[in-house]
Amino acid sequence: MKVRFGVGTGSAGTPADLPELVDRLEAAGVDSLWFSELIFAPTVDPVVGMAFALSRTTHLKVGTSVAILPGRHPVLVAEQLASLAALAPKRVLPVFGLQPAGPQERELFPVAGRRGDVFDESLRLLRAVLRADGVDFDGDFFTVRGARVGNRPTRPLDIWLGGRAPAAFRRIGRYGDGWLGSFLSPAEAAAGVAAIRAEAAAAGREIEADHFGITLLLAQHGIPAELSAGITRQRPGTDPAGLVAASWPELHRLIDGYLEAGLSKFVVVPAAGKPLDGFLDRFVTELLPRQN
């Protein structure tokens, strides 16, 4: 399996810092840069950030960790992804999720039915339009005739999904090409990989062995109170200290556990401060030698 490490902007990916960050990542040979969808934070929109980063680089990959699909029309999303892929082939890594982590942002992605059902249908339509021209689709939430995108990639884009609930594992097995988890222990991640593979097999599909990854937070100066509260909301009863690395040695220990669990792609996010505040130099020194 190809082991790869990328940098996540998290809530610190501000427009002012992005040009230098992108240039330094490209110069250092870092694999990828990941944009989170945080509407009310002073961050760059993921699609805008990906386009900007791709325009300044020739090797750096870009991804979303994660963008919200339910609440957006899948054909419009397909057009955005296809346009990015046409501008920078093999460097666009979309990952979609069910809903924003922040409850105050959920009303910005309204859906006409049960959100999980809308997500499933959105994925079916998104994948269809990225793989064929003239798509006719009749669903419970979307109906299109002759849908197509102008720059459909010759090789369909891989669509990865987030999530950690049983319903998410079923969805990934049926409709996803990979998994990017978050806030999971190595043991929980191993169980997730097994569940996704089982769901894929039941659907007559197979997820590639190196298409399992996780977002990891590094909190060298202690877990910020806001982050701790956010983790507690997402994982009630779970100690945030068990899911966030408190040092570089702890990060390596967690990575070892995730590798053993079958994960090979890692998005590392500085939990406090900005990626340029000493984090990036240490990232290059600590993690690039672990790639194969």
| Residues facing 168 on adjacent strands | none
Residue 288: per-residue pLDDT? 98
Measured between alpha carbons, how far is 64 from 96 in angstroms, rounded to an integer?
A: 7
- The two beta strands, 135-138 and 160-161, are unpaired
pLDDT at 247: 93
On whether the CB atoms of residues 111 and 70 are closer than 8 A, the answer is yes
pLDDT of residue 239: 84
pLDDT digits (tens, 9 = 90+) for 43-55: 999 999 999 999 9
Task: Give the pLDDT confidence score for residue 12 in this predicted structure.
Answer: 73
Per-residue pLDDT tens over the stretch 155-179: 899 999 999 999 999 999 999 999 9
Q: Are 251 and 218 in contact (CB under 8 A)?
A: yes
What is the spatial distance between Cα 29 and Cα 4, in angstroms, rounded to a whole number? 11
Q: What is the pTM of this model?
A: 0.95
Q: Which long-range contacts (CB under 8 A, 24 or more apart) does 152-156 make?
A: 152/82, 153/82, 153/85, 153/86, 153/89, 156/127, 156/130, 156/131
- Below-70 pLDDT ranges, the chain: 273
Pairwise CA distance, residues 91 & 22, whole Å: 14
The b/e string for 33-60 (b: 16+ C-beta within 10 A; e otherwise) is bbbbbbeeeebbebbebbbbbbeebeeb
